Structure 1
């Protein structure tokens, strides 16, 4: 059992995850941000590795990716930065990014390296499910890495059931099919979508992402899922002066 599976076993509700881009705002800021988030009471982390063509990301995260790439962030650099991470950070860690850099690195090598430094799971929005199942699932399972699948309001029920079958940590529910950074619009249709997923009684926990930026969004998401992910709103904070010292108050404003 990895740390992520352990977390869901021991704490079922109101889980808060934070996404941030490795190498932003500074190349060397990744570990310090992770440490500050754990101290502030975050339940698990998503560390994004930047890519030059981030199709699912809104302007805030695109900007952070661009800046991180200009700062010199690559998967090789990230793995180097994270090699001692587990000396100071104990909460579950996910890496999030696009399939292209992983394939260039070598999927088997990527999975081995991620496991070696204590990563618990990976979110790859543009990795097709059939490709994961046919070509790569062995590398993930051999290295005790959870692959996290995404579901949108348009995802068909049989596909959601298949995702549930292939998952072993949680399922990432996108609050919409749009890009990151919008506001969580809890319209009747979105609420129906959440209710529909909840009624399916999936075996895996669910976490809602995209558009969660404040306590009201977070609490609403937690009514329907086991927790929520905050991304763009946190990445915006990292663009401010003295961002490390502002992290505890930011997390408190969402979680308490």
Structure 2
């Protein structure tokens, strides 16, 4: 049983997935951020691989990615940073044991080499991938078998406009969980969860194979609880990036941000 399966078997509701950008706010802060998230209640860490043209990301996450690129972050450097992330440190501190999802875009992954990328992700081990611009057909015919060979989960995204037939197809192709985008926009937009409740209830009533996590517009306890009403959990990104950018200390800033949500 992989980490995501174990998590969703153990925790049926209010699963918190927090997005952070690798190499942000500082070049060497990736592991510090991940440890702070794990220690303060994140159930899943979604680690963004910065890219110069991130289609699904709003201005805050785009800016964090641009800063990470300026900091010299690459996929090569990220895997070097993650090399011992699952192990205990010399000081006796534990490693990262929660599921880690890598989120990014196909262009840099293809430049790195797709199979090489999957092999190095499996070596960490990473638990799953989110690549929003990998089309369903190419996943089925070319890339999905490679992802499966290396034991990685793959998470597709659905939106309120996605047809029921397509939702069922993407759910069948996904493993780990299904990412329900709360609206057809970029990350960080304000959402009226009364407006999306019907959509989330529709997903719930479809009795999908995978747990559903809701993303885009989740920023605090109120929006987290609203998103979790008809889903297994939710994903927070923009609000957390904003918070740690302004924090003097990553650990203290992460605790101050997450405690009102998970407490």
Aligned residue for 2:78? 78
Cα deviation for residue 192 of structure 1 reads 1.4
Whether contact under 8 Å (2:36, 2:250) holds in the other structure is no
Cα deviation for residue 6 of structure 1 reads 1.4
Which SS does the other structure have where 2:243 is aligned? Answer: helix
Distance across 2 between alignment mates of 1:255 and 1:14: 9
Which SS does the other structure have where 1:86 is aligned? Answer: coil
Spell out the pairing of 1:243-254 with structure 2 (5 A cutoff).
243-254=250-261
Distance across 2 between alignment mates of 1:203 and 1:248: 33
Aligned residue for 1:101? 108
Aligned residue for 1:208? 214
The yes-or-no answer on 1:118 pairing with 2:131 is no
Aligned residue for 2:57? 57
Distance across 1 between alignment mates of 2:254 and 2:176: 27
Distance across 2 between alignment mates of 1:140 and 1:8: 21
User: Out of 170, 176, 193, which is 1:169 matched to?
Assistant: 176
Cα deviation for residue 244 of structure 1 reads 2.6
Distance across 2 between alignment mates of 1:174 and 1:72: 30
Give the superposed CA RMSD.
Answer: 0.9
Spell out the pairing of 1:219-238 with structure 2 (5 A cutoff).
219-238=225-244
Whether contact under 8 Å (1:97, 1:124) holds in the other structure is yes
When normalised by structure 1's length, the TM-score is 0.97
5+ residue gaps in structure 1? none
Q: Deviations over 1:145-203 (max 9, x none)?
A: 00000000010111111111112210000001100001231133x12111111111101
Cα deviation for residue 85 of structure 1 reads 0.4
Distance across 2 between alignment mates of 1:53 and 1:141: 27
Moved over 4 A (4+): none
Distance across 1 between alignment mates of 2:171 and 2:24: 33
Q: Deviations over 1:37-72 (max 9, x none)?
A: 111121010000000011111110010000000000
Distance across 2 between alignment mates of 1:239 and 1:11: 30
Q: Deviations over 1:1-21 (max 9, x none)?
A: 321121112211110010010
Which SS does the other structure have where 2:213 is aligned? Answer: strand
Whether contact under 8 Å (1:218, 1:254) holds in the other structure is yes
5+ residue gaps in structure 2? 88-94
Whether contact under 8 Å (1:2, 1:120) holds in the other structure is yes
Q: Deviations over 1:222-243 (max 9, x none)?
A: 1010000000000011211223
Pick which of 179-188 and 34-43 moved more. 179-188
The alignment covers a number of residue pairs equal to: 255
Distance across 1 between alignment mates of 2:20 and 2:29: 11
